[in-house]
Structure 1
Amino acid sequence: MSEVKTRADRKPAKAKKSPLREWFDSILFAVVAATLIRWLFMEAFTIPTPSMENSLMVGDFLFVSKLHYGTRTTTTPLQVPLTHQKIWGTNIPSYSTAIQLPSYRLPGFTSVKNGDVVVFNVPPKYLNDNIDYPVDLKTNYIKRCVGIPGDVLEVRQREVYVNGTLLPKPPRSEQKYFLKTTEVLDAAFFRKYDIVNDYRDPGQPTENWKPLEQYNDSTKSSTMVGYSINTTETVINQLKGFDWVKGIEPMSDKPGEMSPGIYGTPTFKWNHDNFGPITVPKQGVTIPINAQTIALYGPVIELYEGNENVVSSPTGIKIGGKPITSYTFKQDYYFMMGDNRDNSLDSRFWGFVPADHIVGKAVFVWMSLDPNPDKWYNKIRWNRLFRTID
């Protein structure tokens, strides 16, 4: 009786993978999948500073959507997966600039709007360890967008106006106040009111600190104590209800007083509480070149527009050796501010955010860890888990 073998019978048995090979394949798949998700859809970030308090707290872990504004194609393809600037735990660069590609943005389902909380690559070199990183590898910042392309923005006594209309404050935004009391307050009291990263007592003077002698009440035997605090209007209203609180004063700079380090100075006498008016650059809009526009837009023309051989001075700009009398912007720009407006290094200090620096929209907090809990079991801020960002 003859034996008939099927094709499957004739096929040699497939060699079984070794455990090491199975582990390698699993890790490779996970890395590739995580890289694609991180690039195309969503990326996780951590809040390291109090510039967005009390909307976002130090220790918040959040997800940022790349789909809202559209994913950017990478300009630096030679990079260790799942890294940013350095290889984990080292100072070794995680990328090579041997290949640099033009960046494009895939279609998104919305655009950056006033009030959006946005993650972006901060533009100035001095905020990137004085290293000229590729755009997509610059340091990530998170702020609230208060000005979109074409907006006329102004800050008057800490209030933001856009196109002449007052921009409502975010519900949990903070500002700086000087609190005068007849009681000595400790860290536990401030923690009760979520003032955990921004308060100073008289033993910790700051540039805005006022000597206690100014607050001695000659009609009473007690001496008042002063604290510089950053907190919300809601908390301020609660503190005003205590009979031992003798005064709460906003701490702000005066109009016309110039602060060093503010964008546009010394041409304009601005400070972080009184800034502008200033027009946010918009793609296709042409401006004249003069001393005023150079102070505001000279860095944009020189650093972010892709122009070569730019020479800028307080009185003129040359591109390719030729003086220009006007300039047309090649891309859109945005103006960003922290919700903790008196403790935020933002566009008032370093200028506009180019459109090609936008990373994505912050959508929700999935975990929050208190970096300095009063008790170990309070390490997790349970009330902040899975909180949407507004």
Structure 2
Amino acid sequence: MDFDFALLLVVLTGVTGVIWAIDRLLFAKRRERIALAANDVPHEPIIVEYARSFFPVILLVLGFRSFIAEPFKIPSGSMMPTLLVGDFILVNKFAYGLRLPVLNSKIVSFGEPQRGDVIVFRYPKDPSKAYIKRVIGLPGDEITYHNKTVQVNGQEIAQSDEGIYAGSGDEGHKMSGAKLKIEHLPGVDHQILQIPNIDSHKEGPWTVPQGHYFAMGDNRDNSEDSRFWGFVPEENLIGKAFIIWMNWDQGIDFKRIGTLINRG
């Protein structure tokens, strides 16, 4: 089971906040009176001092991570060439609404995923895992995938050739020689990879249910995505990936730092 950092932050915030509050309400004034009577300076117990110091810091981290942005590291090559193994990204947590930490229930709605968005979500078959893919199908769409080409509601999504991909890093070198193409989704042009001589075994059609999304990796022949495990429920959304803030594979790749992910 993956480590639940959000739960840890909630617990630490609650524990430090309760310790600090109980001390202020029940013990601080008594401690001050005793110290004043003895012409001394009141001394906080060490646990109270730590709680008072750490509570606002942990609360700030919890609020930022839960409602503004959360960092993730790319562990696989399924989103190549857009995202590489070793990329550290930030995810906009309020792009599709605010959710309570741990419970993941939406409290405020701001918008919905658009076709072409790169989203992070909890894997439907194991919500403890976070996946990242690109939104291809919206609720109500019919998606097919034939001859390495996406069709949305019967309309083929155009592609243009960009030559042969030359990868870097351990995972990138494995994809060297793949076809590099631009896929022209409505409003979003983005790169994809295709491996010659590999057939598209999962072709559809798939009709996207209401409240769900069809997501695919940009590394089309090396991605476990909605073609294999189904749709992404709206309640599983974590946020919209928006920037690469660091890359570490075989050292720091400074050229990738600051790269925007979602561009339309």
The TM-score with structure 1 as length reference comes to 0.49
Alpha-carbon distance, 1:21 to partner: 4.9
Alpha-carbon distance, 1:109 to partner: 2.9
Going from structure 1 to structure 2, the CA distance change for 1:15 and 1:357 (only over 3 Å counts) comes to same
Residue 382 of structure 1 corresponds to: 254
User: Tell me, what secondary structure is at the counterpart of 2:108?
Assistant: coil
Going from structure 1 to structure 2, the CA distance change for 1:141 and 1:169 (only over 3 Å counts) comes to farther
User: Tell me, what secondary structure is at the counterpart of 2:215?
Assistant: strand
Alpha-carbon distance, 1:19 to partner: 7.3
Residue 139 of structure 2 corresponds to: 149
Distance in structure 2 (CA, Å) of the matches to 1:195 and 1:231: 18
Residue 171 of structure 2 corresponds to: 197
Contact 1:118/1:145 (8 A) holds in 2 = yes
5+ residue gaps, structure 2, are: 1-32, 183-193
Contact 1:54/1:231 (8 A) holds in 2 = no
Residue 197 of structure 2 corresponds to: 251
- Within the candidate set 86, 99, 118, 1:72 is matched to 99
Alpha-carbon distance, 1:61 to partner: 0.7
Question: Are 1:111 and 2:112 counterparts?
Answer: yes
Alpha-carbon distance, 1:53 to partner: 0.8
Question: Are 1:366 and 2:245 counterparts?
Answer: yes
- Listed as ranges, the matches of 1:255-274 within 5 Å are 271-272=201-202
Can you list the C-alpha shifts for 1:237-281, whole angstroms capped at 9, x where unaligned?
Answer: xxxxxxxxxxx9822316xxxxxxxxxxxxxxxx13xx1222101
- Within the candidate set 43, 55, 58, 1:31 is matched to 58
Distance in structure 1 (CA, Å) of the matches to 2:148 and 2:117: 19
Distance in structure 2 (CA, Å) of the matches to 1:170 and 1:110: 31
Letter in 2 for 1:252: I
Residue 10 of structure 2 corresponds to: none
Question: Are 1:166 and 2:193 counterparts?
Answer: no
5+ residue gaps, structure 1, are: 1-10, 77-102, 129-134, 178-189, 201-226, 235-247, 255-270, 283-331, 374-378
Can you list the C-alpha shifts for 1:67-100, whole angstroms capped at 9, x where unaligned?
Answer: 1101223464xxxxxxxxxxxxxxxxxxxxxxxx
Looking at secondary structure, tell me which structure has more strand per residue: 2
Going from structure 1 to structure 2, the CA distance change for 1:40 and 1:249 (only over 3 Å counts) comes to closer
Distance in structure 1 (CA, Å) of the matches to 2:134 and 2:245: 19
Contact 1:154/1:276 (8 A) holds in 2 = yes
Going from structure 1 to structure 2, the CA distance change for 1:33 and 1:105 (only over 3 Å counts) comes to same
- Listed as ranges, the matches of 1:1-390 within 5 Å are 15=42, 17=44, 21-74=48-101, 76=103, 104-124=105-125, 128=126, 135=127, 138-168=128-158, 193-194=167-168, 196-197=170-171, 229-230=177-178, 232-233=180-181, 250-253=196-199, 271-272=201-202, 275-282=203-210, 332-370=211-249, 373=250, 379-390=251-262
Looking at secondary structure, tell me which structure has more helix per residue: 2
Distance in structure 2 (CA, Å) of the matches to 1:170 and 1:115: 17
- Aligned Cα root-mean-square deviation (Å): 3.2
Distance in structure 2 (CA, Å) of the matches to 1:366 and 1:170: 29
Alpha-carbon distance, 1:156 to partner: 1.4
Distance in structure 1 (CA, Å) of the matches to 2:49 and 2:158: 56
Distance in structure 2 (CA, Å) of the matches to 1:336 and 1:249: 19
Distance in structure 1 (CA, Å) of the matches to 2:231 and 2:47: 50
Going from structure 1 to structure 2, the CA distance change for 1:169 and 1:33 (only over 3 Å counts) comes to farther
Distance in structure 1 (CA, Å) of the matches to 2:138 and 2:113: 7
Letter in 2 for 1:250: P
Bigger Cα Rg: 1
Contact 1:198/1:230 (8 A) holds in 2 = no
The TM-score with structure 2 as length reference comes to 0.70
Alpha-carbon distance, 1:167 to partner: 3.0
Letter in 1 for 2:257: L
